[in-house]
Structures are given as C-alpha cells and as structure tokens.
Structure 1
Amino acid sequence: MEALRSTARIIVRYRVAFALIAIFLLVVSIYGIQNLRFESDLRSMLPEGHPAIDDYTTLQNEFQSGDSTIIVVKVSSIEPGGVYDVRDPQVIQAIYELEQRLLQREYVTDTISIADIYMQVLGRLPENEEEAKFVLDVLPPETRNQLVSRDYTTTMIVVTISREKNSKTLVRVYEGIQEDINDVKFPKNVEVIQTGNIGITYRILELLQSDLNKTMAISFIIVLALLLYFYRSPVKALIPLTPLVFGVAMTLGAMGLLGIPLDLATTTIGAMLIGMGIDYGIHVTNRYYEERKRGRTIEEAAEEAIAETGKALLGAALTTVAGFAAMYLSSLPMLHNLATTLILGLSLAALNAVVITPSVIILEEDVMKKLKGHYEVPEIRSHSGFVGKAFRSLGEAVRRKPFAFLGAVFLITLIFGYGVTQVTTEVRLEKFVPKGMPEIEALMDIRSDFGGQDELYILVKADDVRDPTVVRSIYRFENQIKADTYYNNVFDSESIADIVVQKYGYIPDDREKIKEALKDYQGVQLVSSDYSMTVIKFTGDFSGSSIDDFRKIIRYFEEEVQNAVFPPGVSLSLTGDIYLNYVLDQLTNEEINRISMYGTVFVVVIVLLLFRRPKVSLAMITPMFLGALWTVGFMGLAGIPFTQTLAGVISMIVGLGVDYGMHLTHRFLEEMNEGNPRPIVTSIESVGPGILAGALTTAGGFLALLAGELPTIHDFGLTLAFGIFASMFAAYLVTPALLQVFYGKKIGGDAE
C-alpha cells in the first residue's frame, strides 16, 4: 500500500508532465488510425497451417476456383411497358452484353448464363420471344431448371473469379462487377442483384465500417448521458470520460500501426472499450469526490483516490486481462486479434484513469475556484437521494439476512441452468448479414428456384489423374453422391469423368483418349498443370438449411470421401468455402470450452495470488462464475448462438465479472480493518453506486452495438450487456452475503 501511495504522490505532483506525454501519444495514435484496415476473408479466421487452409489454397492456385459471384436477373414488377419474362430477347441481349463486359475483367475466368445456351444452339441470340422459348423448351428439364426458374421470372449469371484473397481486391472485384451491371441497360421491370460469396462478403465489409462508427458514437452518447445523470454537471461528467477518449484513440491507433485488422470481432472494440474503460475512471473519480466531501484538500483527495482504489483497480485490470488472455490459447486468429486489442485497450484505459484523471479533476477544481472565488465541495447523485438510500437499504438487508439472498441466487441459477442446455453454434457467413438485404433475398431466390448454388469441392490427388482407373473411380464416386441427393441436397456435379463420358459415351481404357478429351475441353479448369490433381465440383443447397442439417450434410461428404474406393496412392479431401465454414464451426465448438476453462483458471489464480485468503477470494469470484453461467443460460433462452465472435465471450465475462466482487470485497476489508462495526453496509453504500454507474456505462457501451446492422454484432452487444448486469447483480447479492456469513461473528454481525 505504501508503494501505491508513493506512486500516487508522484502522479499528482507531476500530473502536467504525464498529461503532456499522453497528448503526444494521442497525436501518434491519430496517425495510426488512418492505417486501419477491414478484413472479412474466411481464411483469416482459421489457423495457419490447418489442412483445410492448405487444400483451399491449392484449389485457388491450381484451379482458379473456390470463388464466384452470382448475378441474379429477375422480373421484380409487372408495370406496363416493361417485360414479364426473362426469355424476352431484350433481357437475353442485356445478359449477353453484361457477360462480354465481365469477361474483359482480368479476374473473371468464366461466365455461364442462358445467353450461352442460345449462342451454342443458334450461333446467335434469339430474335423474338417464340424463338427464345423454343430453344429452352427443347432442353432437358434438369438443364433448363439450372438456368431459369419454373415461372420464367428469374435467371442468373454464374461468374467464376480468380483473385487474391484480401479485402482490397474483394472491394475492387465487387465494385468492378457492379459497375458493369450498372452500365448495361436492362429493360423495365428487371432487377439485377449481385450475390453469392463475394456479394455477401462485400456487404459484411461495408457494414463493418458503418457499424464501427455508428456504435462508437452511440456508446459515447449513452455513457455521457449516464455520467451527466450521476455527476449533475457537464464538466464533471467529462472528467472520467477524458482519459477514456485517450485510451480508445490510442488503441485504435496501435491497431493501425501494428497491422491488426478490424474484422467481425474487433469491429466491436470501440464500443466495448468505451463501455468497459469508463469503469476505471468512475471509481477514481467517485473516491476523489468522497474524500473531498470528508474535507481533504484536492491533492490529498487525489492521492487517496489513487492509493485506495489503486489495489482494486490493479486487481480488476489484472483479472480482466487474465480472462481476455485465455483467448490467446485459441487456434482462431480472430480471437487472438480481439484479445490483443482488448488487453491493450483496457490497460491503456486503466493507466489513463490513474494518470490523466487526477490532472483533469484538479484542473477543473482550479478553474472553478477562479470563476467562483472558492473551492466547491462536489455533490454527486450516486451518493445521495434515491440511489444512496437504495444501497443503504440493500446493505442493511444483506447484513441481517445473508442466507435469504443466497437462496434467491440458487433459484435464479436453476432457471438459467436450463438455458445452458439450449445453446447452439452458428458460423456460416451468410447468417451474419441482416435478413431483408437484397443479396440475401437473391440467395434465397436461387435456393428456391434453382436448388442452390453452394459449391463443394473434392480435391483428388494421384500420380496422373488421367489414369483410366482414376477417372472411372471419379465417375463412380460422383454418381454415387448424386444418387443420394435426398440426403445431401446435391443439385449438380462436374468432373473430368463427365468430360470423357460426354465425348465418348463411356470411359475408355486408353489413357491417350482421355488426354485428348481433356485437351479439347474449353470449360472451367478441372485439372492441375502437372495432372497430379483434379477436382470434383458439387453444386447444391448445403448451407441454406439449419446448422444441424448443414453439419449432417458435410459429415455425409466426409464419410463418403473416407470410404471412397479409389486405386492405391490416390487421396481425396474436401475443400471450398462451404467446407471452410464447417471447419470453423468445429473449431469454434472446441474453442468455447477450452477458452472458458482457461480464462476462469487464470482469473482465479490472479485473485488467489493478490489476496491469498480463500474466503475473501471465494466471495470475489463467485459472482464471476454466476455471471458467466447466467449469461450462457440467457443465450440459450434467447436463441443467441455461439459464433466465432462469441467464442471468447465467457472468458470475457469472467474477466469483467470478477471486478465488481473485487471492489466490494476490497472496501469491506478496508472498513473492517479500520474497526467499522458495519463494514457490509458501508462497503455497499459507498462502492455500490460506483459499481452501478460502471455497470450501466459498460452495458450502455455494449448495448450501443445493437445499433449495428450485422446480426453477430447485435448478439455480441446484447450478450455482453447481459453478462455485465448478471455479474453486477450476482456481486450485489452474493459477495456481501458470503462476507457476512464468513465474518459476521467476528465483526459482531447478526447473520441469520
């Protein structure tokens, strides 16, 4: 404690120098903010060196596959003077013109549409609607249904893309294709929408950028409004907010300088830091005003505030960091980035709270003295009026009947315990886009009208895939999968075996004939340059169903690949964007338990090392366990699934939730050591309002995430806000009750 008092005196004495250093770092951070980048590539969410990543990279490099965009062309209205059928020659002409424009782009490798059918059959585009209808009518139904909906109001252009997998090229590709769409004049009543993997990912990137700015602004407004209520003065409300602004700016600047991207998880960092970081400034400010009310000078009050809250703040910061640090044990890079930014942000917030806050408080008091001619003893709402009376009553109630409070907690835990059994996971990228978005609606149209356009690839490796036995095995495997379409939702397939059968009507034993068939083929590349690899491409509705059905479908493919009969030396593996989603789902399920367990262990160890008293530690950490348990139960009851973003949420709640019990316990021990006969009442009455203000502002920052448009951001904000309130209520109900039970007789309490 003496070391903290010495540090406090140094901070107060040299506050101006510390403030100038902080301002310099703020300027550097503003430069770093300009270098921030956004990332939504699925591969960046998976660990480096994972076999699924290696196979996916092979798919990209060797076959220029695994990435595509779908352009939906549909008749969206029946206004007079427009077209009512996609077989109208004007529509077909526009589609053909769009294809020609797209093929001029260096990243477009192939396009498929109904216009291609007419060019193959007629050698030209149809000149009238009767001719257009005739060509489609003579096609086999399964071929026709792949291109045009049964009511002839919707068709699509499938565009195969070859590009580097990063957000900058994705934006360039999407905007280039959109530019071509806008430049082509489609007839009246026709709507053209770009969807598929690129369209959805682009929309997520766009929403990430808007959500970051929106949620940060709203969280600031919420926090400021709460501070205005508690401190009754705009100037005093800015005191705990000022160091927070420094901390948030420094964190974002560091992300830009260190190259940490803003992704589905780290986009929430601004609102989260505003919510969490304000807690530190509030505790220092509240203790300062409490000491000033007792008659201390401004320097004495500042030193006392830093010294007395310092240990609790240090413990709170260390336990929070310990909870977040557990995310480093995850194999998911996204959680590593989130852990880094949260630890950095909260460390800066805590540091700024004890270094900047005294400077701002004393500066404000000095200015007010010059304006009014005297120092004015501050009066804050949280220690008076209804709030003050409520906490005094709570303290008295806990002192008299601690077991009644523990019984109420047990009943609450039973309810949320049921919710724990209802929790699911969800990692599919398309589920992160709000319902009603044109890209999602178009994707739903594709699934209902065309049976889906999800692509799943089987990578086949052999000495030479043109070997007749290999080609024959591919053909047999492919048809076996297609025969199970009722179970696997396969709509179509494509392989080198199909090319050979199309040319000869069978698979010859002569390897030279197979080479000739493949040499003459002009479609999408299906064979690697050295003929050591080929792909079997399956198209269907794989991810449009429920998450459980999605898993069953991919597990079906895994089993079929594992049990496939191929010649010795031939290996098969699943790959593609759809399979990466599945791998991420499996990893997320594994990471949730591991991160939560290690996060809890880390926090418990920190608490035990700091306080070295089992009873005291138990009183501190019990609300943490309950807050985490209630939060998971809430997710189950509310239907909020675990996502890659929420995989570390329990570890985060554990790190944050212990703070409230720690502040109450620390003040209880301080009062008990000073001989206070009613330390429970005093600790709840004095620290309780600060915890409430901190929890409200923290939850307010998290609830600001509800203003974002991405569903995963909504869920993240709502879950964390509930976790904060759950931890706060658990601390109010459990920590004082346990302390009263443990120390009631020693202090002369009358616990029943």
Structure 2
Amino acid sequence: MADRGLDLEPSLNALNSLILGRPVAVVVAFLAVTAFLMGGIGMIQTVEDQSDAFSEDIDAQEALDAVNEEFGATFGDDEESTQLLQDSQNTLSKPALLRSLDVIKRTNERAELRLTDATGPATIIAQEIDPTAESYAAQRRAISRASDTELKTAVRQSADRPGFQALVSEDFNRRSASASASITVLTHSFPPQGDNLQEVQLGVKEIADRSDGDIRVFGLGITNSETANVIGDSLGIVMPAVLGLILLFLIVAYRDPFDLILGLVALLLSLLWTFGFIGYAGIPFDQNMISVPILLLAVGIDFGIHIVNRYREEKGRGFDVREAMTITNSQLAVAFLIVTVTTVFGFGANLTSNFEPTRNFAIVASVGIIFTFLIFSFFLPSAKIIADRNRKRFNIPSFGSSPLATEESILGRALPAVASVSKRAPVTLLLIFLVVSGGAAAYGAGVDRSFEQEDFLPPEDLPDYIENLPEPFAPSEYTAAGSINFIEDNFAAGNDDQITMYIEGPFTRDSALESVYRTTKEPPDTYLTTGNRAETTSIITVIQSYADRDPEFAALVARNDRDGNGVPDRNLEQIYDALEASPAGDRADEYLTDDRRAIRVEFAVESDASQGEITADSREYTEDFRYTATATGTIVVFQAVTDLIFQSAFQSLFLAIGLTGVFLIGVYWLLDRKPLLGVVNVLPILVTVAVLLATMRVLGLSLNAVTATILSITVGVGVAYSVHMTHRFIDEYTGGASTDKSLRITLQGTGGALVGSMLTTSIGTGALVLAISPILGQFGLLMAVSVFYSFVTAIVVFPSAAYVWARYDQGRSFRDWLWEQTNSTPQFASHED
C-alpha cells in the first residue's frame, strides 16, 4: 500500500473531543485570559519621534551627530530651543518686530516656560538701536520709539552682525530693510533629565496664537506632540470606518445575527489580546503599529468565514451540531495551522530589518496572528456549539444558514467555470502567468524608494473630509509639516539642498585651507557652482566675509595670502585668533572646531537632482580632498536610510518566500507525500508579489518606512488564499474524486468563502486611506490591492497549476507528461467521478 503520509486523524479527534466536548470550559478559559491581557492595554505608550529610530547606527547619521556636537548650530535646532516663525509682508517693520517682542516678553513672564535667551531680528535690531536695552521690555521701548529712518539704519547695520542673515528669509533686502519671514530662537533651561519640552512649547504656542496670527511656533516638542496625536487621531478615524465596512460585509457573508455576533466577539478578543501583549511587553506603539489591528482583522475574518461556511456545508449534509463542527475542525485545523505558520513567516521576516520600528511590528503582528489562530480554532467553534445548541433548545429559527456559494447561486456557477478554462491548456496558461509575472517583477524592481521626516507627520493641508469631521472624530491641530515647509521655502539655513562635508585636518597647517579651496574647483555635476567653483559656506567664506567688513582683519589676511586669492596660506592660528576675538567669532565656531583639527563645509546642490545622485557624487567627491572627508547631511542620511529600506524590503520578501516554500513543501510531504504541492501553493503568491510591485510603480507609490513591509506581508496574508485552495483540493483529490470534481468542489465551496474574505479584508484594510498620515493611506491602498490580487491568483492561477500537478502525480514519465500537457487536453484516467 502506498505511503499516504502522516495520519493526523487520531490526534485531531482527540483534540476535538477535548475542545468540543467541553465548550463552556473553553469559552470561560478564553474569557479569563482576555481579562488578564486587558490589564496591559493601559500600559501602552506611543512613540513621539519615530524618524530618529530609522537613522540609528547609520554612519552618515553618526557623522552628522558629530558635526552637530562639534560645531555651533546656525540657529536653534537643539532639543532645548523653540523657534518662532514669523510670516508677514515685512517682518522687519516696526509692527512685526513689536509683535515678536511681545511674544518673547510674555513668554519670559511665565516662569514655567523657563526662557533663558531669545535671539531674533527684533532683539538684534533693538540692541543695535540701544546697546543698553538688555530686558525685553527695554528692547520693545527702543523699537517703539525709533523713527522709520532709525529703524532702517539699524536693520542695515544689524545685517553685518554674525548670524543675523540666517534669521531672515532669503528675500532679505538690505536697502529697503525688508524680509517676508524671520526666525526667532528661544532657549529654555531644564533641570537634569527634564522632560517637559512639549508643555513648554505648547505654552509658547498658546501665547503666539494671540499675536494677530503671523507667528507660529515650531520645535521638537511640537513635532513629538503631533506625531503622538496623529496615531490617536488616525485610529479614531480609521477604526470606526474599518469596523463599519467590515460589519457591512460580514452581515452579507454570515447572513445570521448569531454567527455575526460570534465572529465579531472573536475578532474583538484577537485585538484585546494583542494590545494587551503590546502593553505587557513594553513595545512602543508607533505609526507602523496602526496596521496591526487591520491585519489581524483580515486574518480573523478569513478564519471566521471559513469555519462558518464549512460548518454550514456539513450541516447541510445532515450532521448534527457536534458532528458538523468536529468535521469542520478536522478539515480546517491543518489549513489554519499552515496559514498561521506561513503568515508568521511573512510578518516575522521583518525581524531581519535594520530598523527597530519594523522589527517591533514583526513581533507584534506575529504574536497577534498566533492569538488569532488560537481564538478562531478553539474559542469560536466552542462558542458556536453553545449558541447552536441553545438555538435548538429554545427553538430560535436559523436565518442565512447556507454556504456562500451553492450550486444554484450565480457565484457557485461562476467560480468553477475557471477550472474549465484552465483544463483546456494548463501549461500554456502557466507559461503566460510566469512570463507576465517575470515582466512585472522586472518592471517593479524599479519602484521608487524614499525616506523623509515628513513621512511621519500629517500633511500641511488636511483633506476636507477630515477637517469637517464632528467631535469626537475631529482631528487635532497640526502645524509641524507646515513649519518645516516654511523653513525650507524661506531660509537658506533650513534648506535641505546642501551637503555637509566633515573634513579632519589639522587645520593649523599653512596649506590646509588652500587645499580645501583648490578642491572646490570643478565639483560634481550635482553641485551648484559659480563660475567653475562650488558654492560653499565654510570657515573660508567666514574669513572672506569678515575681511570685506573689517579693513584691519583684511590687511592681516592679505599679509598671509601669498597667492592673493583671498585664502590665507600661512599663520592660520593668528588668523583664527583674530577672527574668534571679532564679532564674527560665533560664526567661525559653526565651521571650525575648538581644537582646530576639523572643519565643516556646506555645499549647495542642485534642487532637481535626485537624492541618490547627490549622495553618490558626494561619496566619490570625498576622495578628492587632501584630508579625510566624510559626506553627511540630511540628504546623505536619508539616502542611507532609503537604501536600507529597499534592502530590508527585499531581504524580508526573499526570506518570507523561502521559509514559506520550504515549510509548505515539507508539510505536504509529511501529510500526503506530495511535496510538489508546496510549489503549487507558492506559485500564486509569487505572481501576486510581482504584479503588486509593478502596480506600485505604475501608481507612483514608493517603498518607504511603512510600505516597505508590504511585500513580506503580502506573502503572509496572501498565501492564506492559496493554502485554503490547495488544502481543500487535496482533501477531495485524495478522497477519490477526479481532478475536475476536486477543483469544482474547491472553487465552489472554498472559493465562495474566499470571495467573502477578500471583500471584507480588502475593503477593511483599504479604509486606511482615510488615515491622516499619507504614508498609512498608501499602506492601506497597497494592502487592499494585494489582498485582491491574492484572491485572483488563487482562483485563476491555482487551477492551472493543479491540473499540471495532477497529471504529473498520476505517475506518467516526465517526457510523456510534458508531451501530453503541451499537445492535448488532459484526460484523467484515475480519480474518476
């Protein structure tokens, strides 16, 4: 007798006897565990600044951190400062300056806001008018009493002060003493380990909001507060929409209020268990985590519909409650276990990611899927038995008790028709599927990739449907993205179109500055140039700028500039000493370290050049410098993160496919001694992933910090569709049915359940497009598309693969088998109806 594989029937019978024989005890045990895990929900903490987690341990970020530590900042981007961003027709006019000083003065009067210093155009101009005006009230009086002529003169003189022009917009006009925007930096003092920056900046914002509306407040505390708020606001908008849509489709799928309630309770328990685990495990809840409950609902819906649908099939054959559920559990237990393991592989593959948020997502999603499996495999069948027994006892009528797709229904007739098409030319169809998916994968490999701080922030302008939501769904006020855009649009110092070159010297050597100056000639094509020299800001430009304003210092530079190009090439220590003792000393600290062993040079780059091109040019350009040079800055850091995101996405994808394929081949060999069924099972999901990648590129969607997980998640969620098809098919096939009949039963019974699962899951996950954060909206759209593709490939690709496999399984030689597949319609001598 042929080896039929591992016989699980005795073990399944024993398990069913244990679970279904004591349904009340099972339900009570699950409710007790739920009560315990709910205690962890209150321990959940949200992440405030998620973007930093993606740049940890990256060389370019470490270099940028070193630059920020060793050099003075251009203007307050440290963690203890607040920026007042003023936007008006002329922020250097008397009324605008007075409004700025009013905000500073009122902030200073509130002790809890811990103001220690304020630097902005208003304070600098006021002290230019009256050098003795040290208090903010005195500075306000100085500006208030100045005539228009005195004020314009003070502005022109202030323009020569160190740092002034970094605080006014690029359209600053010295002659008319005007600028359309300005920045004032407020510095706060905090006790050791102080953590109330948010409260301080929100307090400053409260003051600024009362100042005629032309001053906005920006800082790390504001950004962190909004990052935390967007999580709660997104959940508050998305979850009701998801639950509403899911409820609508579950009503159609179940068509019975009791089954509907049981399914919803099981879904609720899955969420409660998972959120409780997050709290007890101390895993922070960030924007990546918002997709977890959606994914759990997707898998839970799939399990629930399959259980109820299969149970109804068995009830329709005349079995009683216990017998019908026993058969259902026996037939679905293995499929559910396979789906759970493969889904864990898909989600867990993200543990290889370089990013902690992605690894946390992998842990929580994997644990959540295991919880979902336990609840729907044990709790739901037990609760269903209790409910149906009581319905029978109290003579409560049944409602929609038939499966989703019956022979009489349109769906029941349409789905099996796919097998008829596949039967005519299965090999040809498979070759077409492989060619199409190969082309899609090649095209999709060029999908865009990106990483930006704004990915984690709500957009500057929220859609109207979000803005007009009533309480309690109305979103918080969001200003961070607008402030970032305001700085980038108006200030050179806030512009991301630059590269920081960190160069290690020593820079006291006579030729040090000259060698740097020579290297700025003929820079890469992505760098901005004047003539044939790169546009830079460095200690060299600070020296030249101050020499233009101070004749004595200019003479000192000239005496030590042997070739007359404006760059001193001897006695550099004397030059530095004189510069640091001058009004330009603070500016010099921004580009020269205290030990004079390193400098930073800022290179302006082409705004229309890609991040990748600029980074590649910059890394190559470092080789041209005489001293050790490291390219860094926002562009380089974000490109490094982007490269890692792309690498991690495909690394996780290949791992998920590899683990899933090996597992399925092993399972089908162990259970049925038919390992090639594992390949048949994986084929539809390979087509899905390839077409999904191509779709992303067509739609212009990129792989970013959140959507990078979509490929491995597609494997995890999508493989469930082909697993259910394969498992049902092999059950019928090994039971003696022909291939035709096995596929017809599979497409009609399991296929019908998959339709309900696909509709609820794709619509439910697609509701993420309503999230405030665009990055979550993209993820939701891709999830909906991937679920739909997974269903289509399971229904369309699987039958062709099953026909080809069945012919091979009937023992023909490979040559005869291949000849018959390519030259005739297959006839199945064995496994007749």
Give the match's secondary structure for 1:715: helix
Q: How does 1:193-272 map to 2 (within 5 A)?
A: 193-195=216-218, 202-272=225-295
Offset from partner CA, 1:22-45 (integer Å, 9 cap, x none): 223322332222222222535653
**1:64–1:670 CA distance, 2 compared to 1 (3 A):** farther
**Residue matched to 1:157:** 183
Q: How does 1:160-199 map to 2 (within 5 A)?
A: 169=195, 172-184=196-208, 188=212, 190-195=213-218
Larger Rg over CA atoms:
2
Q: How many angstroms apart in 1 are the aligned matches of 2:314 and 2:189?
A: 63
Tell me, yes or no, if the aligned pair for 2:55 and 2:637 is still in contact at 8 Å: no
Tell me, yes or no, if the aligned pair for 1:699 and 1:725 is still in contact at 8 Å: yes
**1:711–1:196 CA distance, 2 compared to 1 (3 A):** farther
Q: 2:770 aligns with which of 707, 719, 737?
A: 707
1:694 correspondence with 2:760: no
Q: Is there any run of 5+ residues in structure 2 with no aligned partner, and where?
A: 1-7, 131-141, 463-478, 558-567, 812-823, 828-833
Tell me, yes or no, if the aligned pair for 1:40 and 1:264 is still in contact at 8 Å: no
**Residue matched to 1:660:** 721
1:467 shift after superposition: 6.7
**1:173–1:586 CA distance, 2 compared to 1 (3 A):** same
**1:496–1:746 CA distance, 2 compared to 1 (3 A):** closer
Tell me, yes or no, if the aligned pair for 2:82 and 2:187 is still in contact at 8 Å: yes
**Residue matched to 1:684:** 747
1:486 shift after superposition: 2.2
1:56 shift after superposition: 4.5
Tell me, yes or no, if the aligned pair for 1:382 and 1:388 is still in contact at 8 Å: yes
Give the match's secondary structure for 2:630: strand
Tell me, yes or no, if the aligned pair for 1:365 and 1:375 is still in contact at 8 Å: no
Q: How many angstroms apart in 2 are the aligned matches of 1:643 and 1:515?
A: 47
Equivalenced residue count is 731
1:434 correspondence with 2:452: no
Q: 1:118 aligns with which of 112, 125, 133?
A: 125
Q: How many angstroms apart in 1 are the aligned matches of 2:571 and 2:596?
A: 19
**Residue matched to 2:802:** 739
**1:395–1:237 CA distance, 2 compared to 1 (3 A):** farther
**1:540–1:441 CA distance, 2 compared to 1 (3 A):** farther
Q: How does 1:259-658 map to 2 (within 5 A)?
A: 259-372=282-395, 378-383=401-406, 385-399=409-423, 402=426, 406=430, 409=433, 413=437, 416-417=440-441, 419-420=443-444, 422-432=446-456, 433-436=458-461, 439-451=480-492, 453-454=494-495, 457-460=500-503, 486=528, 493=537, 495=539, 498=542, 502=546, 504-505=553-554, 506=557, 509=571, 511=573, 514-515=576-577, 517-518=579-580, 521=585, 526=590, 531=595, 536=600, 538=602, 545=607, 549-566=610-627, 571-575=628-632, 577-612=634-669, 613-658=674-719
Which piece of structure 1 moves more, 448-457 or 618-627? Answer: 448-457
Which piece of structure 1 moves more, 194-203 or 30-39? Answer: 194-203
Q: How many angstroms apart in 2 are the aligned matches of 1:359 and 1:64?
A: 67
**1:517–1:608 CA distance, 2 compared to 1 (3 A):** same
**1:314–1:94 CA distance, 2 compared to 1 (3 A):** same
1:311 shift after superposition: 0.9
**1:135–1:483 CA distance, 2 compared to 1 (3 A):** farther
Q: How many angstroms apart in 1 are the aligned matches of 2:643 and 2:773?
A: 22
Identity of paired residues, percent? 19
1:362 shift after superposition: 1.4
Letter in 1 for 2:447: V
**1:524–1:645 CA distance, 2 compared to 1 (3 A):** farther
Tell me, yes or no, if the aligned pair for 1:468 and 1:510 is still in contact at 8 Å: yes
Offset from partner CA, 1:83-106 (integer Å, 9 cap, x none): x53333121022234346668888
Tell me, yes or no, if the aligned pair for 1:286 and 1:690 is still in contact at 8 Å: yes
1:236 shift after superposition: 1.2
Q: CA RMSD in A?
A: 4.1
Tell me, yes or no, if the aligned pair for 2:619 and 2:631 is still in contact at 8 Å: yes
Relative to the length of structure 1, the TM-score reads: 0.85
1:240 shift after superposition: 2.6
Q: How many angstroms apart in 2 are the aligned matches of 1:195 and 1:269?
A: 31
Offset from partner CA, 1:572-630 (integer Å, 9 cap, x none): 43445554322211211222332222221111111111112343122211101001001
**Residue matched to 2:92:** 87
Offset from partner CA, 1:481-512 (integer Å, 9 cap, x none): 89996269998746598379738343672636
Give the match's secondary structure for 1:640: coil
Tell me, yes or no, if the aligned pair for 1:271 and 1:704 is still in contact at 8 Å: no
**1:510–1:91 CA distance, 2 compared to 1 (3 A):** same
**1:435–1:155 CA distance, 2 compared to 1 (3 A):** closer
Letter in 2 for 1:267: I
Tell me, yes or no, if the aligned pair for 2:101 and 2:122 is still in contact at 8 Å: yes
Q: How many angstroms apart in 1 are the aligned matches of 2:773 and 2:455?
A: 9
Q: How many angstroms apart in 2 are the aligned matches of 1:353 and 1:424?
A: 39
Q: How many angstroms apart in 2 are the aligned matches of 1:492 and 1:97?
A: 37
1:331 shift after superposition: 1.7
Which piece of structure 1 moves more, 605-614 or 491-500? Answer: 491-500
1:664 shift after superposition: 1.0
Letter in 1 for 2:681: M
Q: How many angstroms apart in 1 are the aligned matches of 2:459 and 2:704?
A: 15
**1:175–1:564 CA distance, 2 compared to 1 (3 A):** farther
Give the match's secondary structure for 2:215: strand
**Residue matched to 1:29:** 37
Which piece of structure 1 moves more, 132-141 or 682-691? Answer: 132-141
Tell me, yes or no, if the aligned pair for 2:501 and 2:630 is still in contact at 8 Å: yes
1:130 shift after superposition: 4.5
Which piece of structure 1 moves more, 443-452 or 615-624? Answer: 443-452
Give the match's secondary structure for 2:214: strand
Relative to the length of structure 2, the TM-score reads: 0.77
**1:509–1:497 CA distance, 2 compared to 1 (3 A):** farther
